[in-house]
Amino acid sequence: DPHSLVGQVAIVTGASSGIGHAAAKALAKAGASVLVNHPPTAGSMEKAAAVVAEIKADGGVAAALGADVSKEEQVDAMVRETLRLFGGLDIMVANAGIERPAPIHEMSLSQWQAVIDVNLTGAFLSARAAAREFLRRGPQPNLSLAAGKIVFTSSVHEFIPWAFQANYAASKGGMMLLMKSMAQELAPMKIRVNSVAPGAIRTPINAASRDTQAEMEDLLSLIPYGRLGEPEDIGRTVAWLASDASDYVTGTSLVIDGGMSLYPAFRGAG
Ligand code: NAD
């Protein structure tokens, strides 16, 4: 079964909630052992432990580990710990991300830097650590057609501009060319690098933007498919991109947005 991840090991960063949680569950369901990363902040450890418990209750294998993806030593230590716990690494899902919205003329350097550090530098550090291990180890034809798989959680805001979230859009635009450049560089070594680019998914990151009925209606008017995305919509695509079922796919952003990027305002025009 080309969808099977049995015998493989995955790290999912920012996996204690939202899309990372769903990706961790989907990867474990397909048979991978999953390192559920969370930031070393109050409350996150308990949430990650609950994700691990869910996966185990489902018959899967998982462990939780705190590491701040924006810190080089912590990311490298996370990969070392994964190798120690599970004996290898086959899949890196660089998913951790934050938003710090502000009008551009009021955006502080710390708001700018926080988003770039986690979303872009964190993705670089996670992907670099994985690539180093994939290259050191080389292909494992008994496990997978590829010698390693990297999946970034980007966003439709890697190509749709976002007023009041210029830091976020810049981080995801940067992520797009990080992903494509890595894919071009690593393809000869049989390492595949791709992104998922979600639209509006029901997770804690955007809970405030759908507080009221009116806000919810505004959001839905942007989505031709007529519903918000669920974390599982993204999770199962991450598992597919990590499996041999997508073996010839590399350097691609898979847009998963219910048609949000299809210029829905034009349905009524012309
Ligand atoms: P979320 O807030 O539930 O998930 C983000 C996760 O990242 C959290 O678990 C958080 O603890 C973790 N995190 C934050 N800083 C970290 C750090 N320094 N080190 C390690 N982990 C850290 O929201 P989500 O929507 O699931 O977000 C996941 C990814 O999906 C993000 O990269 C986000 O930009 C992207 N995304 C979300 C949407 C959406 O509509 N929800 C759309 C497009 C892209």
For ligand 1, is residue 167 a contact (CB within 6 Å)?
Answer: no
CB within 8 Å of 70: residues ≥ 6 apart? 117, 118, 121, 122, 125
Distance 123 CA to ligand 1 centre (A): 12
Tokens 């991840």 belong to residue:
5
pLDDT tens-place string over residues 20-44: 999 999 999 999 999 999 999 989 9
Report the half-sphere exposure of 79 (CA within 13 A, side-chain side): 23
Structure tokens belonging to residue 255: 């847009």
- CA 198 to ligand 1: nearest atom: 43
For ligand 1, is residue 205 a contact (CB within 6 Å)?
Answer: yes
Tell me, what DSSP letter sits at residue 149? E
What is the rounded CA–CA span in Å between residue 81 and residue 159? 35
For ligand 1, is residue 203 a contact (CB within 6 Å)?
Answer: yes
Distance 255 CA to ligand 1 centre (A): 17
Please give the CATH number for the structural domain made up of 9-268.
3.40.50.720
Answer yes or no: are the C-beta atoms of 209 and 215 closer than 8 Å. yes
| ipTM reported for the complex, 2 dp | 0.99
**Minimal CA–CA distance to 178: which of 128, 138, 133?**
128
Q: Ligand 1: which residue has its CA nearest to atom 10?
A: 14
pLDDT tens-place string over residues 213-254: 999 999 999 999 999 999 999 999 999 999 999 999 999 999
pLDDT tens-place string over residues 118-166: 999 999 999 999 999 999 999 999 999 999 999 999 999 999 999 999 9
Pairing of strands 148-153, 191-198: parallel
What is the rounded CA–CA span in Å between residue 73 and residue 196? 26
